[in-house]
Structure 1
């Protein structure tokens, strides 16, 4: 299964024994994020057989930071309850401006699922094409999901501090240009403006075509090149809270670069008095 699948492909695969379809819509945690209840929206309409991946709940709820990775045991338990198990082919989609299926894609890979794809164009494209939907809460049986975590795909605050000095890994920020440069204040209280010193900026929205589908090939590569990123070298992505950083990570994955994600992102770095902050352009 390719990492990026089409609506036509998915329509033909629906009902396969090993296929699991997952709605990972999330509307964000920062002040000013779109209003809405993604779980309620899911119950109203979703791709037939899909289950709902609650990004807000499948997180470390003991952390003061938003949507941080949960403990491996919690993640495995949640996946089992959704009927996602070892050997499943998992196709993710969303209906969010933040393209949050990328966050679920990264989480699943961190916790040991390897055959994971994103639906190109998401639920909006599926609906626009008049494809079938269903409502309600789907019934499914629990499946075994092995407890596992690959920390090589995750970066911590201490690792990011060390990288400021070493420059061993390229750091790419998915936030908007004005937030990256510090022209706009950060929307979170008590959070400094600016960016991690030495990081580059590629707003996540630039990875998509006007119809919401992913750019691919040369068009996608051009966006990374325009941000000053060499995808033949190590990459770490960041953003406000680790959500849209996953968009950049998935885009890099489509081009053959399997980088890491700074999970605390700017909500951690920007609020920490011990971290250096840079202002202005990259």
Structure 2
């Protein structure tokens, strides 16, 4: 951050916040409509088109906003006070993401620790057991729905384990890329950051293969009871965050290749690093509580 100005920098009015808000609305509308129509008739209908438009709009918004931020930073418009604001903003953003995943983990734990035992007659809920689901067995994962539909639980070996190792490796490469930046070792920075981006892309590719295997071979779908719901919501939202994190790192890589950042001025890189390490920690929780236990 430049310290030449003692005044707090106030950016010009920007269209990107409202564009981003509208894009997220389109994504929510398109995704909800697509899921509902597929469940009803098997055809996503117009929901798929709205979803695609929303995703494209978000990408355009990110490109434009990043471009404006880079121009402002490289023009020396920022000072130390604004730098502290950026750090506080990023900390609060990651905190909000922590709360987001806590809500989904809370739903998972509520189902496993409270709902499933109650359906089995625990805590003097014998009538609940007899009325709602007489033949219910207290097991997790709950691979059988009340209508008799059965699915298969996703094991922790194979692709999930490989993806865990990939994300752990990506945290290591990103850490040492950051070390290279702090020591002004540009080759180390560039190569290890590129490796981190590659790990992120491989993770996403393997998750797509995992979902294809789950749908086609295991009959594990979003409507496969509470287990299918929690599995896809947790891993799907995490995959979305990995996608966002990979895009952040790609932007950082392009900036590094253009000679941006220095040992004393690289908060954008640091913010992307914080976000990526957060995504890795969330996956470790997912791997333990969704796949193993």
Bigger-Rg structure (1/2):
2
* Bigger helix share: 2
Structure with more contact order per residue of length (Cα contacts < 8 Å, sep ≥ 6)? 1
Q: Please confirm whether the aligned pair reaches a TM-score higher than 0.5, indicating the same fold.
A: no
* Bigger strand share: 1
TM-score category of the 2 structures, normalised to the smaller one: under 0.3
Give TM-score scaled by structure 2 length. 0.26
